[in-house]
Amino acid sequence: MPKTSSENFAVAKFALIIVCLGSIIGPLGMASVNIAIPDLAADLQANAKMVSWLPTLFILSSVIFMLPASKLADNYGRKRIYAYGLALNAFSSVMCGFGNSIEWVLFWRFVQGAAAAMIFGPGVAIITSVTPSHKRGAALGIASACVYVGLTIAPAVGGWLTELWGWRSVFLFQVPIVIALLLLIKMRLSGEWKNDEKTKYDWWGTFIFAVFASSLVYGLSIVPNSLGLVMLGLSAISLALFILHQSRSRRPLIRVQMFRENRVFSMSLTTSLLMYASNFPLIFLMSLYLQYVKGLSPSHAGQVILVQALSMAIMAPLSGRLADRFQPRVVATLGCVIVACGLLVLSSMNTQTSVAYITSSFLLIGIGFGLFSTPNNNAIMGSAKSHEVGAASASMNLARTIGNLFGMSLVNLMVHFYLGNAQFTPEQNPALIKTVEMALNMSLAFVVVACVISVLRGKSRSE
């Protein structure tokens, strides 16, 4: 018996609540770890090079498993894969929390990244599946705001937990929350969303894409070593093979023709990739800068960093409503310009820069990013055909995670070059500051290019 409109509304509303809760937990578990890195490094005697892999491996795994997770969700149920991702996230968090070596923690952070792919890709697809098109922008705006809420409270929560109970608690605190959310899904969220017909899974495509992402990250981390150049060459070849394979496959992980057929879709994804490449490594490095150079406590550093995510959370719902009423590209481009201004202000930072100055820069960056993200996401999802919302959702999340991965891989290269195997000590502060300066210049360059592409993308069908 078909559901009534009121029942559909209730399901859509509760599905949005479930996805939003997951959207808070995921970023909360990911970003809070950055504040705990100094304590983790001291306890496990990890050098700068090993520590820089903590966020990188998480993002690498998310990139590798994003397309497979979304494809499996389309075939077997988006709610099911979403729930499996939450469960895997809780288990890997426990394993990280009980780790006694940096190698152990790095392995389970990689597993956590796979769990994140199973959460974020199907989550956005669920919202798109149950929400009417004229309300999609607002719904995506709310979901984006929840991501930023998780990012907002993550630094403060990570700093507070680290000071009270140590770095292990940063991994363990989210486990009971995830268990409660899984029970809520089991008892209250009825229905399932998947394609009418199952499609054969492309294991070869998954393998080729994994080779591309892994060789890119490892190659960037060791250039100009000759092996690094070889790995980058392998990455380029793998990417070309992946595109060729997907274009010829009868059951592709992602229909690459979508990128050629729709200018708004492809250019919006490119803009997203560049913007996230500029932002993700910045948070990692500023956490180190504030604690090692400025001497702030973990909780104080967290409070400074949360200003950016707080402003994102405030602006995301507003920008979502603006995207429903006005041209998304105009709102998104304005956000890009504001982020560029914030990075320009932050680029003059040195050892004497006040915490208030740094906080104001984060505020500006957060406002710009909040204006950018939701209109850009709405343009991506609105450009997709109804039967390809899963692939569009995967592409959107993939652009974000590849941007994070690419930016963090370049920062890894900087950390390896300036800091190498050294432990974090006051003697290494000049090298750390140099790394931060280089990363800020990189981020600013990415945002400037993103501004240009955002302007040139053209109007979407809804504009």
Average pLDDT of the segment spanning 322-351: 84
Average pLDDT of the segment spanning 445-456: 90
Other beta carbons less than 10 A from residue 241's beta carbon: 16
pLDDT-derived band at 110 (thresholds 50, 70, 90) equals: very high
> What confidence score (pLDDT) does residue 241 get?
94
Range from 211-220, 276-285, 319-328 carrying the lowest mean pLDDT: 319-328
> What confidence score (pLDDT) does residue 1 get?
39
Q: Single out the residue of 462, 457, 454, 452 nearest to residue 264, CA to CA.
A: 457
Query: How far is CA 157 from its chain centroid?
Result: 19
Give the percent of the chain with pLDDT over 90. 16
pLDDT-derived band at 101 (thresholds 50, 70, 90) equals: very high
> What confidence score (pLDDT) does residue 386 get?
64
> What confidence score (pLDDT) does residue 2 get?
43
Calpha distance 369→339 (Å, rounded): 6
Sign of the C-alpha dihedral computed for residues 443, 444, 449 and 453 taken in this order = positive
Pick the most confident of 115-124, 141-150, 228-237, 318-327.
228-237
pLDDT-derived band at 102 (thresholds 50, 70, 90) equals: very high
